[in-house]
Amino acid sequence: MADNQQIEMVGMNRSAYLRVLAFFLAPAVLIYTLFSVYPLLATIFDSLYLRHEGGALTFNGLGNFQTLLTDETWSKPFWNALRNNLIFFIIHMCVQNPVGLALAALLSLKQLAFRNTYRTLIFMPTMLSVVIIGFIWQLILSPLWGIWKMGLNAVGLGVLFGPYLGQEHTALITISLISVWQFVGIPMILIYTALLAIPDELVDAATVDGLNQWQAFFHVKLPLIWPTIGLVSVLTFVANFNAFDLIYAMQGALAGPNFSTDIMGTLFYRTFFGNQLQLGDPTMGSTIATMMFVIILMGLLVYLYVIQRRIQRYSF
Amino acid sequence: MRSRFSTIAIHAVLLGYTALALFPIILVVMNSMKMKRAIFLSPLTPPGPASFDLIGYHRVFSDGAIGTYYMNSIIVTLGTIFFTLLFGAMAGFALSEYKFRFNKLLGLYLSIGIMVPIRLGSVAIISLVSGMNMINTLSALICVYVAQNLPLAVFILSEFVHQIPKDLREAARCDGLSEYNIFFHIILPLLRPAMATVAVFTMIPVWNDLWFPLLLAPSGGKQTITLGVQQFLGQYVTDWNAVLAALSTAIIPVLIFYVLFSRQLIRGLTSGAVK
């Protein structure tokens, strides 16, 4: 019915109409299906098979997942990577997003001079390749060059200097903070835009009612930008559980020292491609990719059903 | 009205953070133009007549491959942008213009890719690409990046098509223009600003990506600049002049591009994410 109405409106017969639809939609749908949807489904499918020596495949149900979660040789690296990834994410949530929010709050203040200059410059590291950023920080932290050491000495904290990237208990935190330094621009820009969209009258009314700048921010502006903060959180989650480049560029595929910086992305890469310690295993690689998919999906569902609903209930 | 004191405090905080954001970048670019001794003895001073030296750049460019890597990156990025915009605008137009039966479903299908990272399908992408004999080709990278960027492009461009007044198309139809002509001669020119926005924020992740070049085109002179620099850095790790120059070579073009297009980029980021 709807189709016929539409054809009349456009003034074509049915086959010409279908040709038009196919012409406009086919390229996008085909390339997206072939290079994005199909590989994702094939990966999930692959994770259900077992690869034998010689390359033969047999159906294994959820056996690979059982192996991954319970077999000591697989489960240890898996839980380690998941835990590290969680720490990586928590550091982003606790440092990157609050700092981004604070910067956005300052930038959105009325009559602030040079606001666009600040915004453009602070966003700059986000533009650069993670590989470049990783290397730059490696040089800065290097005891050989000693820039960081000089900096610490200058403020009297020289004793804190150490080979951060080479120690198991500091490497992951250091890399997380470098990632935070690079990507703080994204929450900043998103929250900044949301803050600018708040009508001036609302804030003015609050100030007239006797609220000071701080109170106006926490009681008027902040509640209005919860949806944006929710979005920033879910973007952070997806990006963090999909991260790979920075660790690979700074610590290599083995995510050293002693796997202390191993996250899901590097574990996936190593399992699939193999490395000095093991041969590549495509089906276990697919199993890990599927686990990553499940984790990201759970994050998205929590966002859609819990965070967004609650926000809707509280907003007006 | 803010007090003078709090204005100063605000600027102090923002200036401090700006310095933190820029310091590492400036440090690297500055030292890339100095002699090795000066890099170590006085890393914080800008290059002067006594310390100025471009030896690192000589080494980077005499390696010969950097030019090829740049070319590869430019081809991949431009190819991705061209096809993403063309196919994205076509699909965005069809989705917003024609109310066919599976319209909503197709829109939903295409938008899955906005949130689910294409990287998770890498294992199958590699066997697909090697099955098509496209390993170490730039076309393979372009295909994957187009698939990666299409969902958001379709989404944003169809929103923009929606904002173009219906009368314009109806009038064109009355004049007997075909649907193809309506799209290519009326809609596409009007979409230009939106397409510029999509182009700018498609460009950066593609240019900077390490994962797919590493998987699909790791050798044979088909490396992109990001992967090429990564491999170069691995080889020359002890040659500080060369390392700093290689880093600067990768940084400077992106910064120039950014300074020119930061407005579009930031607009693109927000329009893509707010909806």
Q: Of all helices (H) and strands (E), which one includes residue A121?
A: helix A115-127
Interval A280-284 mean pLDDT: 84
Q: Which domains, from first to last, does chain A contain?
A: 2-46 (no CATH), 73-314 (1.10.3720.10)
Distance CA B66, CA B85 (A): 28
**Does residue B231 form part of some domain?**
yes
* Inter-chain touch A112–B233, beta carbons under 8 Å: no
Q: What is the per-residue pLDDT across A48-66, written as a single tens digit (0 to 9) for each?
A: 988 777 777 788 888 889 9
**Does residue B187 form part of some domain?**
yes
**Does residue B247 form part of some domain?**
yes
Spell out the per-residue pLDDT of chain B, length 275, in tens: 567 888 899 999 999 999 999 999 999 999 989 888 888 888 888 888 888 888 888 888 887 788 899 899 999 999 999 999 999 999 999 999 888 888 899 999 998 888 888 989 998 999 899 999 999 999 999 999 999 999 999 998 998 898 888 888 888 888 888 889 999 999 999 998 888 888 877 888 899 899 999 999 888 889 999 898 888 888 877 788 888 998 898 888 888 888 888 877 777 666 654 44
Comparing alpha-carbon positions, the chain B residue that sits nearest to A104 is: B14
* Inter-chain touch B179–A12, beta carbons under 8 Å: yes
**Does residue B151 form part of some domain?**
yes
Distance CA A271, CA B135 (A): 20
> What are the tokens at B239?
């040659």
Report helix, strand or coil for A4.
helix
* Inter-chain touch A32–B258, beta carbons under 8 Å: no
* Inter-chain touch B122–A272, beta carbons under 8 Å: yes
Mutation target vs A (from B1, B14, B143; most A CBs, 10 A cutoff): B14
Residue A68 has pLDDT above 70, yes or no: yes
| Neighbouring residues of A293: CB distance < 8 A, sequence distance ≥ 6 | A40, A43, A44, B116, B120
- Considering only CB atoms, B270 lies closest to which of A181, A190, A285, namely A190
Interface size, chain A vs chain B, as Cβ–Cβ contacts under 8 Å: 253
Q: What is the pLDDT of residue B269?
A: 65
Greater pLDDT, A184 or B274: A184
Handedness of CA B91, B93, B99, B104 (dihedral sign): positive
Enter the DSSP assignment of B42: -
- Considering only CB atoms, A31 lies closest to which of B112, B124, B150, namely B150
Q: What is the pLDDT of residue A118?
A: 92
**Does residue B173 form part of some domain?**
yes
Report helix, strand or coil for A58.
strand
CB B147 within 8 A of CB A34: yes
Mutation target vs B (from A8, A18, A32; most B CBs, 10 A cutoff): A32
Q: What is the pLDDT of residue A196?
A: 86
Please state the separation of Cα B72 from the chain's center in Å: 14
Return the number of other C-beta atoms located less than 10 Å from residue A217's C-beta.
18
Residue A3 has pLDDT above 80, yes or no: no
Would you place residue A90 in the very low, low, confident or very high pLDDT band (cuts 50, 70, 90)?
A: very high
Interval A155-179 mean pLDDT: 88
Comparing alpha-carbon positions, the chain A residue that sits nearest to B147 is: A32
> What are the tokens at A267?
């574990």
Would you place residue A36 in the very low, low, confident or very high pLDDT band (cuts 50, 70, 90)?
A: very high
Q: What angle do CA A52, A53, A58 make, to 5 degrees?
A: 15
- Considering only CB atoms, B13 lies closest to which of A106, A129, A190, namely A106
Q: What is the per-residue pLDDT across A109-133, written as a single tens digit (0 to 9) for each?
A: 888 888 889 998 999 999 898 888 9
**Does residue B236 form part of some domain?**
yes
Mutation target vs A (from B120, B130, B150, B152; most A CBs, 10 A cutoff): B120
Tell me how close the Cα of A168 comes to any Cα of chain B, in angstroms.
22
Report helix, strand or coil for A34.
helix
Give pTM, 2 decimals: 0.88
The amino acid occupying position B149 is: N
Comparing alpha-carbon positions, the chain B residue that sits nearest to A140 is: B24
Mutation target vs B (from A131, A183, A251, A284; most B CBs, 10 A cutoff): A131
Residue A69 has pLDDT above 60, yes or no: yes
Would you place residue A1 in the very low, low, confident or very high pLDDT band (cuts 50, 70, 90)?
A: very low
The amino acid occupying position A12 is: M
Chain A environment of B122 (Cβ under 8 Å): 39, 43, 268, 272, 289
C-alpha closest to that of B121 among B243, B216, B217: B216
- Considering only CB atoms, B27 lies closest to which of A32, A36, A147, namely A147
**Does residue B114 form part of some domain?**
yes
Q: What is the per-residue pLDDT across A223-254, written as a single tens digit (0 to 9) for each?
A: 888 888 998 999 999 999 999 989 998 888 88
- Output the CA–CA distances (angstroms, integers) from residue B109 to A87, B85, B155, in the order listed: 33, 19, 11
C-alpha closest to that of B83 among B125, B159, B139, B131: B139
Chain B environment of A193 (Cβ under 8 Å): 270, 274
Which residue range is the domain that position B264 belongs to? 68-274
Chain A environment of B207 (Cβ under 8 Å): 129
- Considering only CB atoms, B110 lies closest to which of A32, A40, A113, namely A32
> At B82, which CATH number?
1.10.3720.10
**Does residue B80 form part of some domain?**
yes
* Inter-chain touch B123–A145, beta carbons under 8 Å: no
Distance CA B256, CA B13 (A): 26
List, in sequence order, every beta strand (DSSP E) within chain A.
49-51, 57-59
Residue A148 has pLDDT above 90, yes or no: no
Number of domains into which chain B is organized: 1
